[in-house]
Amino acid sequence: EAIVKRCKAALIDIASSDGIIRATKSIVDPGEIYLWNNVYFRNVTDEHIPRQNHDCLSTFFGHLAFEDTEITRFIINTFSSINTDVSECLGDFFKCQVDKLSTFKTEAQLQNRIKRFWEESDELMLVLQCDVTTINDGCIRLAKFTIEQFQNEFLRKNPNKIKYVCMILHIQRDQSYVSSFNFMCGWKQVTIEALTPQEKHLSTILN
């Protein structure tokens, strides 16, 4: 039961709010739907369901900072613009190096920039923004692979130091998108529709 719950929680992590709302119209196991609706919108949790937060970037990482977790890699799906100021969104939580994948013209440029974060800078989080409507899937997977290589080497040399990495995939709400990442990739995946704080939290949708 614990494994099943964690698997379901991982699926809910990447769901969009409209998808969860549509699920309430299903006739399949109303009790199950009610549970996961509350997990998504009201942050309901138990010993087998990790806390979820889809409100905004700062709230997500703010909650994570107070949890006992070894997760250091994140893939975030969002409908926010690629021009969103991620550093401002994160505020004082992390000193960040923020880059856009589209700015790199060669693989060497990308590698040098990622290398700088892991080997030279004092920033705690690397954020790489990827517009999936303009960047091909191969480039995104290459960036992920390159990050993993440098992070693994960093951890080998600095086993007691922690640095985080976050790839933000900017998706158009009206366009279909199939992620090339599965749940075995070693990254925490979550959908945060709006990176910036909104006037109303998602939980108000239910009220």
CATH number at residue 90: 3.40.50
Mean of pLDDT values over 142-154 = 96
Say yes or no: 39 and 141 in one domain: no
For residues 8 and 165, the model is more confident at: 165
CA 135 – CA 96 distance, rounded (Å)? 22
Residue 203 has pLDDT above 70, yes or no: no
For residues 53 and 125, the model is more confident at: 125
Residue 64 has pLDDT above 80, yes or no: no
Tell me the whole-structure pTM to 2 decimals: 0.87
Q: Which two tokens stand for residue 206?
A: 């239910």
Q: What is the per-residue pLDDT for 205? A: 55
Say yes or no: 73 and 126 in one domain: yes
Residue 35 has pLDDT above 90, yes or no: no
Say yes or no: 81 and 113 in one domain: yes
Collapsed DSSP state (helix, strand, coil) of residue 164 = strand
Say yes or no: 70 and 5 in one domain: no
Say yes or no: 84 and 126 in one domain: yes
How many domains are there within the chain? 2
Q: What is the per-residue pLDDT for 164? A: 94
CA 85 – CA 153 distance, rounded (Å)? 29
Q: Which residue has the tokens 């990739």?
A: 185
Say yes or no: 108 and 15 in one domain: no
Residue 200 has pLDDT above 70, yes or no: no
Say yes or no: 129 and 117 in one domain: yes
Q: What is the per-residue pLDDT for 54? A: 85
Q: What is the per-residue pLDDT for 112? A: 97
Residue 177 has pLDDT above 90, yes or no: no
Domain membership of residue 70 as a residue range: 53-206
Distance spanning both ends of the chain, measured CA to CA: 31
For residues 204 and 145, the model is more confident at: 145
- Reported as a single tens digit per residue, the pLDDT across 114-138 is 999 999 999 999 999 999 988 888 9
Say yes or no: 201 and 103 in one domain: yes
Say yes or no: 32 and 69 in one domain: no
Q: How confident is the model at residue 140 (pLDDT cuts 50, 70, 90)?
A: very high
Helix locations, the chain, DSSP H: 2-13, 17-23, 30-42, 57-65, 86-90, 107-119, 137-157
Say yes or no: 59 and 147 in one domain: yes
Weakest-pLDDT range from 14-23, 152-161, 162-171? 14-23
Say yes or no: 154 and 64 in one domain: yes
